[in-house]
With several copies, the nearest count.
Chain A
């Protein structure tokens, strides 16, 4: 029953949004090559299914690798920053610069050093996704309950133990939120990477390539289909993170515990 409701609500909302969509098309006289209807998009998706499927396979590899690297790298970086005030004070501004430097400027360097294709795409995805993780995890690390810190002082815990047994578990809610943000950014990152450093393999490009191709051919329904396929990819990431969130926190964290 409960499970059912959690499906019905989004479906109803979806129906509502689709109705709105058709209305906009009608009332505002928007044309199909600007905003296709869901029906047209579905049709295009079906027609282009093999191309889209192949494109998703290509892009998802880049997105997945980039995402994992962003998660791992961001987490490690946050840990290093949490470990040492000195390092944090010294290097945080430059990490920010790296995050804020438009990726278009760095892309050529990536391409030259890593070559066209997957490695560069992964690097670009990483660049786009790692900062939310760093920012959130760092905040989680420094938000740890002072009283628990004192407990660890009394235990003569080493810095490493403190991080492992106190700061990491305590920062989990923040870290997972950062992961969720990185998850939504990963497909975008891979698409941007496709734009800036992609290459077609056996005539087949990734999602970024397909958006470019479809938009330059005015295949707008197919373009939107590509967009939704990118969203599906993103949902897989976010869904995975949500599962992880549930798995790690449902036993103890206020965001999930059902206190009677």
Chain B
């Protein structure tokens, strides 16, 4: 990572330059970052943050290690696999306590739970970790069609089953009058976080910046979910003209409805929180299905010094 060379003498502290690469085109699922950016929380924390949008083939992990970017977004299980494959990255904070990925199906197709997927064809990401875990847990076998991010085949075929973001696709298919049901993947018992992570190198060299980024992001997220979203939404729309207000509202309400971002307060979950136990559980599950040849230590993917001080407490300034 490179730092901005702003002279320190007497002036403001030099800002650390940070690029966050998201996992998709700008959308409400990135709202908190945009909020923090729009409201200047990053700047207040001494960071010069810019957000790069991802897309269908974002290779964020590699870019992280090349030093092209400093943070990116992904599921915690993918981060674990990334580390296991020898890419030294580290999780810094959770943007969602529960992953928004879900299975979407037509109401009339006779699916009520995961068990009913047995023998069916599901359009999803090949190689996704939830597949073998789900198959194992429910004793089912599915066949897979690669996800093409389109929806017309789902609409055309009443028996079509497709993976989706619960905050996203249901909006469009419902608009076309489809009567659909969804199953959140985290209900399978395999519940990864959606996290932001950085390279070990950057974290070691700039622990302050990482902590500051996490704190400002959490602040942004809290405000995006609970406060006035206009600033963030304007920025999102600027980055992605396809974002209609109606759609963004839907996304936010879905995130709220399924307690995706802050999690379940009853369980003590909150914005940004990462619990090592959950990471350990995910590692165990990944070993069980053979994705990991040998178990990792939680410390391989987490660095306690970087995480928020304690569950539930206010974000550090």
Contacts and interface: CB of A to CB of B under 8 A. Distances in A.
A and B touch in the complex (CB under 8 A): yes
Interface of A: 31-34, 51, 104, 107-108, 111-112, 115-116, 194-205, 208-210, 212-220
Nearest to B173: A218
A218 B82 contact: yes
B143 A216 contact: no
10 contacts: A31-B155, A32-B86, A34-B152, A111-B63, A116-B52, A116-B145, A195-B55, A199-B52, A218-B151, A218-B172
A112 B62 contact: yes
Interface stretch (B38-46, B91-99, B124-132): B124-132
B148 A218 contact: no
Contact of A216 (B86, B149, B153, B237): B149
A212 B146 contact: yes
A105 to B, nearest CB: 9
B200 to A, nearest CB: 13
Contact of B143 (A199, A208, A210, A220): A199
Contacts of A194: 146
Contacts of A115: 68
Contact of A111 (B151, B153, B238): B153
A216 B151 contact: yes
Contacts of A213: 25, 126-127, 242
A205 B237 CA distance: 13
A104 B57 CA distance: 9
Contacts of B63: 111-112
Given A200-B25, A200-B240, A205 B144 contact: yes
Interface string B66-84: 1010000000001001100
Contacts of B68: 112, 115
Contacts of B53: 199-200
Contacts of B81: 217-218
A217 B172 contact: yes
A220 B172 CA distance: 12
Contacts of B157: 112
B133 interface: no
Contact of B237 (A51, A111, A203): A203
Given A108-B153, A195-B55, A217-B242, 8 more contacts: A32-B86, A199-B52, A200-B239, A205-B144, A208-B146, A212-B149, A215-B127, A218-B81
Contact of A33 (B26, B55, B85, B240): B85
B302 to A, nearest CB: 19
A7 B21 CA distance: 48
Given A112-B63, A116-B52, A196-B148, A202 B238 contact: yes
B12 interface: no
Contacts of B173: 218
B272 to A, nearest CB: 25
Interface in B226-244: 237-242
Contact of A209 (B126, B151, B156): B126
Contact of A108 (B62, B78, B82): B62
B86 A33 contact: yes
Contacts of B239: 200, 203
A33 B57 contact: no
A201 B120 CA distance: 11
Contacts of B240: 200, 203
B141 interface: yes
A34 B53 CA distance: 21
Contact of B155 (A33, A116, A198, A199): A33
Contacts of B152: 33-34, 108, 215, 218, 220
